[in-house]
Chain A
Amino acid sequence: MADRPKRSADGAPVGRRALLGVLAAGAAGLVAAPPLQRGWENFLGAASQVDRTGLTGLLPNPGGFRYYSVVGSVPRKDERNYALTIGGLVENPRTYTLPELRALPQTRVVGDAVCTDGWRVDNTPFDGVKLADLLDAAGVRGEGTAVRFTCFDGAYTESLTLEQARRSDVLVALNMQDKPITHQQGGPVRLYVAPMYFYKSAKWLSGIEVTEQVVAGFWEERGYPVDGWLEDADRTDGAA
Chain B
Amino acid sequence: MAQPDRDGRVRRFGPVPRTVHRATGWLMMICLTTAACLYLGPLAQLVGRRHLMAMVHEWSGILLPAPLLLGLLSSEFRADLRRLNRFAEYDRQWLRAARRRLTSPQARPAGKFNAGQKLYAGWIAGAVLVMMFTGLLMWFMGLLPFISRTSAIFVHDILAWTITFVLIGHIRRAYADPEARLGMRTGYVSRSWADRHHSRWLGEEHADTESAPPAATPSRPAVE
Q: Which residues of A contact B218 (CB under 8 A)?
A: 1
Q: Which residues of A contact B125 (CB under 8 A)?
A: 15, 19, 22
A232 interfacial contact with B, CB 8 Å? no
> Which residue in B123, B133, B220 is a CB contact (below 8 Å) of A18?
B123
We find that the number of chain B residues with CB closer than 8 angstroms to chain A is 58
Q: Which residues of A contact B25 (CB under 8 A)?
A: none
Q: How far is the CA of A72 from the CA of B84 in the complex (A)?
A: 44
B191-224 near A? 1/0 per residue, CB < 8 Å? 0000000001000100110000000001111110
Q: Which residues of B contact A36 (CB under 8 A)?
A: 154
A19 near B157 with CB under 8 A, answer: no
A60 near B157 with CB under 8 A, answer: yes
> Which residue in B45, B147, B151, B223 is a CB contact (below 8 Å) of A5?
B223
B134 near A14 with CB under 8 A, answer: no
Number of A-B contacts (CB under 8 A): 166
Question: Which chain B residue lies CB-closest to A16?
Answer: B85
Q: Which residues of A contact B49 (CB under 8 A)?
A: 69-72
A80 interfacial contact with B, CB 8 Å? no
16 examples of A-B residue contacts, CB within 8 angstroms = A5-B223, A6-B89, A8-B88, A9-B82, A15-B119, A26-B126, A29-B151, A30-B134, A30-B152, A33-B152, A37-B154, A57-B41, A60-B160, A66-B44, A70-B48, A116-B141
14 further A-B pairs in the complex, CB-CB below 8 A; given A33-B154, A60-B160: A7-B208, A14-B91, A14-B118, A15-B87, A15-B125, A30-B152, A33-B152, A33-B155, A37-B151, A37-B154, A59-B161, A60-B161, A66-B44, A116-B141
| B interface residue numbers (CB < 8 A to A) | 40-41, 44-45, 47-51, 82-89, 91, 111-112, 118-119, 121-123, 125-127, 129-130, 133-134, 138, 141, 147-155, 157-161, 200, 204, 207-208, 218-223
Closest 8 A/B residue pairs (Cβ): A22-B126, A18-B122, A60-B157, A26-B130, A118-B153, A33-B151, A15-B122, A15-B85
